[in-house]
Structure formats: C-alpha cells, structure tokens
Amino acid sequence: MDRAPARRAGRAAVTGLAAWFVGLLAIGVPIAFVLGIATTIYLVTAQAVPLSIVPQRLFAGLDQFVLMSIPFFILSGALMNEAQLTSRLIQFANRLVGRWRGGLAQVNVVSSMFFGGITGAATADVAALGPILIPAMEKQGYRREFATAVTVASSLCGPLIPPSIPMLVYGISSGASIGALFLAGATPGIAVGLAILALNRYLLRRMPLQPAGDALSWLDRSRDFLVSFRVALVALLMPVIIVGGVVGGIVTPTESAVVAVLYAMGVGLAMRTLKVRVLWRSIAAAAIMSATIMLIVATANLLGWVLAFERVPQTVADMFLSLTDQRWVFLLLVMALLLVVGLFLETSGSIIILTPVLLPAAEAYGFDVVHFGVVMVFGLVIGLLTPPVGLCLFVGCSVGRVTIEQLSRAVMPFVLLLIAVYAFFAFVPAASLWLPERLM
C-alpha cells in the first residue's frame, strides 16, 4: 500500500497547524486558546482521528497528581507577601549590602534573591518590590528608568532559585526529578544575582559610598545585623523547608507545596499581619493564576499528542542530527531558538510546547535531562526582559511609571550580562549539576 499520499496529507495538516498557531498568536489571542483552537482545526482538517480525542487529551493533561503543587506554591508566595514579610527581607538586605557603593541598587538585587526563594515567579517579585524600592532609589538620585531596570533584571532570580514554577512545569513535562531541578536551578539563580551586583558596582562606580555609620561600634552594628536576620528568618526558612523536604525524601513536591502554604498561614496569623479578608483574596488570586496555567497545560497536552501522532519530535531530532554531529553546535542552536521564542511566548507555555519536541533530540546528543531543564528555563526567562511581550518589562513600566522604550534601553546591559551567564551554565553542565549530584 502506498503511504506517500497519507504522509503528504499529514505534512500539509501540520503546516496548516503551524500557520494557524502563528496567525492566532500574531493577532493577540491568549496562548491557551491559540493551542486549543489551532490543534482542533488541525484535527478537523486532517480527519485522521475523531474529535472525541480533544476532551480525552485535555483531561489527560490535567490528570497528574504533581500539578496540584502549582496552585499551592502560588498561594504560599502570595500569603508570604500579604504577611508583610517584604519589608523584613529588604531590611535584612540593607544590613548586608546597604553600605556598598550604589547601596540601594544592591539592596534591590539581594532582596530579589531572597524574595525569589519565596514566590518562584519574576512578575511577583517586580510587583512586590518595585513600589517600595524604585521610589526610594529615585529619592537617592538614581534615574527612574535605571532603578526600574535593576528591579526587573534582578527579578529573574525568582524563576531559577527554588521553589521555581518554571522548573516545576519542566519537571512535569519531562518526567525529571523535581527535587533535582530545584537544586540545579539554585546555583544559576545565585550566580545571576551576584553578576548583577558586580555590574551595578561597575555602572555606579562614581556614586559616593553610603554613610558608614561610624558612630556605632562594631558590636552595635553586629547586634543590629543579628536582629535584622532574626526578623527576616521566618521568610528565609520557606525555601529551606520546601527544598529540604523534597530532597530529604520527607515529602513529595505536592506535599511540600501544601507545607509551604501551612507555614505561610501560620507565620502570618502568628504575626497578626494576615487577616481573614486578605486570606480569601490571596486564595482567589492564586486560583485565577493557577487556572490560567492549568488551561495552558491542558491545551498544550493536546498539541503534544498531535505532534507525537505526526512524529514531529522524531523528525526534529533527525533534523538536528543531520545538521551536525557536534553536541555543542546543537546546544548553540537550541539556545538561539529559546532566546527567540522567549521574545514572543510566555515561559510556562513555551516549556510545555517545546519540551516534548526538543528533549528527544537533546537525549540523542547525550545531554542530561536536568541540565537541559536549566538550559530551557534560563533561556526562556530571559525573554521576560525583552520586547515585544516581556511580562516583567510591562509590569516594570506600570510600577516604575516609565515608557517601554526607556526601560528597554536601560535594561539592555543587564540582558547582555544574563546571556553571558546563561552561556556559561549551558556549556558547563557541572556548574549547575554539582548540587543535585551531591544531595540527591
């Protein structure tokens, strides 16, 4: 039997699927609906399988126990923020680096590193810290667009430092260990923060040093530091509890998310900073955000099934293998692809779409699934800082009251720095894998 007509029809249908996907995306349709509509049109056009596959695959995409951890992680971050712990983290960061040259800019970065260990999301970081730190930096003589650029650039620590929502999504899509992914993202996340601290020091090298507070003795300054550390400790313990519980085998990723919510509620209620009214508001906000992610997961699973049906992952793997037999050339091509995709697509949706396509090729070249997760997440989150659809840029513009053009120019040195750090961790797997190899 001649299968050539069937193969040609399949290729034509996949081409139509790609055309619908790009077209709907170009006119601003939300990514979840783009995935569902384009895939359904493909099924109608190809007539290869019955339409009853649509509800089946949507349900199958959501029928994963680990997905329950997403709304709980989102809720735990919201509760810690509502418990007014942000000011405690900023106070402790000020004790650490506030006396450096360009001290408040450095406080901004260190606060983002701490806050990223609570929320796991970059946009939440900008929205929580920006209204406090951007006006304070402007009062000290920083340009508003620079203050906003520092805030949005340092927010990228959040999706890397555990608990990381994008790492969790990649783990669900790839089947990789969530605990190993959390640990693998810790070193790149910290490295991003340290690199931005160094860049700030260079850019602000002509700024005067902050007052040293010589009127206080060394003992008084040490006591002040310890007091601020004790005050911030309740917030700093959150990532330790989450990652320690998962790595130690005490709880599963889903159970650790529930523990994080209970811890956040307990802290807020004990400190009397979390009211019942605010609690219900946080639950509603977390439910809305979780529903958005779940809709993307469901429709992306439908698309993934179609791609597997048409053997697209195998075709992509064969294409890369035919282009080059050098694994580092393949990695360079993937990095370029991820940076471009990050310009246009939301991070979690991109991970769900691209993981089934790129991971088989990566495994064929011998890449570790955990290291490839770092490559994917790091490359895609850089897109949060780049137009035309960088979410952190738009949140920063709203919080900092600057135009997208001003912020895009101000953030460019940070983007170039982040790409350099990204290249290091992509081409040196041991730099991110040493921690999970020792603790898992």
**What pLDDT, on the 0 to 100 scale, is given for residue 191?**
94
Q: Cα–Cα distance between 295 and 137 in angstroms, integer?
A: 39
Alpha-helical regions (H) of 155-252:
165-174, 178-203, 218-247
**What pLDDT, on the 0 to 100 scale, is given for residue 11?**
60
Average pLDDT, the chain: 81
Q: Cα–Cα distance between 304 and 296 in angstroms, integer?
A: 12
Q: Indicate whether 14 belongs to any domain.
A: no
Q: Indicate whether 41 belongs to any domain.
A: no
Q: Which pTM was predicted?
A: 0.80
pLDDT digits (tens, 9 = 90+) for 24-39: 877 877 777 888 888 8
Q: Indicate whether 365 belongs to any domain.
A: yes
Residue 199: band (very low, low, confident or very high) from pLDDT cuts 50, 70, 90: very high
pLDDT digits (tens, 9 = 90+) for 238-267: 778 877 887 777 888 788 888 888 888 888
What three-state secondary structure class fits 347?
Answer: helix
Higher pLDDT, residue 411 or 85: 411
Q: How far is CA 400 from CA 133, 158, 159, 197, in A?
A: 10, 19, 21, 20
Q: Cα–Cα distance between 26 and 45 in angstroms, integer?
A: 21
Residue 219: band (very low, low, confident or very high) from pLDDT cuts 50, 70, 90: low
pLDDT digits (tens, 9 = 90+) for 391-424: 788 778 888 888 888 888 999 999 999 999 999 9
Q: Indicate whether 32 belongs to any domain.
A: no
Q: Indicate whether 267 belongs to any domain.
A: yes
Q: Indicate whether 369 belongs to any domain.
A: yes
Question: What residues contact residue 223 under an 8 Å CB cut-off, 6+ apart?
Answer: none
**What pLDDT, on the 0 to 100 scale, is given for residue 1?**
42
Of 143-147, 206-210, 227-231, 332-336, minimum mean pLDDT range: 206-210
Question: Residue for token digits 């897109």?
Answer: 383
The sign of the torsion formed by the CA atoms of 394, 129, 171, 183 equals: positive
Question: What residues contact residue 139 under an 8 Å CB cut-off, 6+ apart?
Answer: none
Over its C-alpha atoms, the chain yields an Rg (Å, rounded) of 23
Axis-axis angle for helices 31-46, 347-364 (nearest 10): 60
- Mean pLDDT over 212-231 rounds to 65
pLDDT digits (tens, 9 = 90+) for 57-84: 888 777 777 778 778 887 887 787 777 7
**Residue 195 predicted with pLDDT over 80:** yes
Domain that holds residue 259: 52-439
pLDDT digits (tens, 9 = 90+) for 275-294: 777 788 888 888 887 888 78
As for how many domains the chain has, the answer is 1
**What pLDDT, on the 0 to 100 scale, is given for residue 150?**
92
Q: Indicate whether 240 belongs to any domain.
A: yes
Question: What residues contact residue 135 under an 8 Å CB cut-off, 6+ apart?
Answer: none
What number of CA atoms fall less than 13 Å from residue 311's CA on the CB side?
7
Q: How many CB atoms lie within 10 A of CB 23?
A: 12
- Mean pLDDT over 327-345 rounds to 86
Q: Indicate whether 26 belongs to any domain.
A: no
